[in-house]
Amino acid sequence: MTPRERLIVGLDVPTVREAETIVETLGDDILFYKIGYQLAFAGGLEFARELAESGKKIFLDMKLLDIDNTVASGVENIAKMGMSMLTLHAYPKAMRAAVKAAEGSGLCLLGVTVLTSMDEQDLVDAGYEYDPHTLVLKRAEQARIAGMGGIVCSAEEASAVRKVIGPDMALVTPGIRPAGADKGDQKRVMTPADALKAGSSHLVVARPIVKAEDPKAAARAILAEMATAL
């Protein structure tokens, strides 16, 4: 894959109008966009459908988790929307239900292991007995067994996760920050080049592009850095 196929720009903005402006500004430089809760609940689901119909690839970051039938029904409808990727929390039963529902659709299902905003103390506070690294690897293995299309994890875990899931599954890493960029609320981050070298297949970048003074220049700089690492 080319850098353009690997870079996913997070449309983490509050309105569809702002998202439209970003897409218009970035033009043909960017193929892949992520839409999460913030935009989804402000008209972003229909916008996602429109982007897909225009030829863009869409990563719908919904982090689904519910009873099996509900997960399956949601996945079936999301596949009909023409989405390229969809996240759900990497719980074995939910993943198995989602995989069955997505059969034949081309939708790449991604298991969310541990949020990149969470560190070991956060997991302790949430009642988990595992540290982030151990829990990420455990869930990665469960995702592989369930037949998922890929994994979402921190780039810090990418190398170890790649050994667990093998060469074919997608490995999507948020928390990507160019050298010198503000980490924001992310706790486990890595530069684009280092993330690719560690085994990531796709990089999610939001603020360093969408909040830049010149988003197009910022995106092109990241694409260029990715090209040097490939």
Binding site, residues?
12, 34, 61-70, 116, 177, 186, 206-207
The answer to whether 61 is a known catalytic residue is: yes
What are the helix and strand counts (H, E) for the chain? 12, 8
The answer to whether 63 is a known catalytic residue is: yes
Catalytic residue among 29, 66, 119, 194: 66
Torsion sign (Cα): 183, 198, 87, 81:
positive
Residue 92: name the closest of 115, 69, 65, 118 by CA: 65
Which residues does the annotation place in the binding site for substrate? 12, 34, 61-70, 116, 177, 186, 206-207
- Three-state DSSP class for residue 174: coil
Q: How far is CA 34 from CA 39, 166, 216, in A?
A: 10, 24, 17
Catalytic residue among 28, 29, 57, 61: 61
Residues contacting 120, CB < 8 A, separation 6+: 131, 132
Catalytic residue among 29, 56, 63, 216: 63
Q: What DSSP string runs through 159-171?
A: HHHHHHH-SSSEE
Catalytically annotated residues: 61, 63, 66
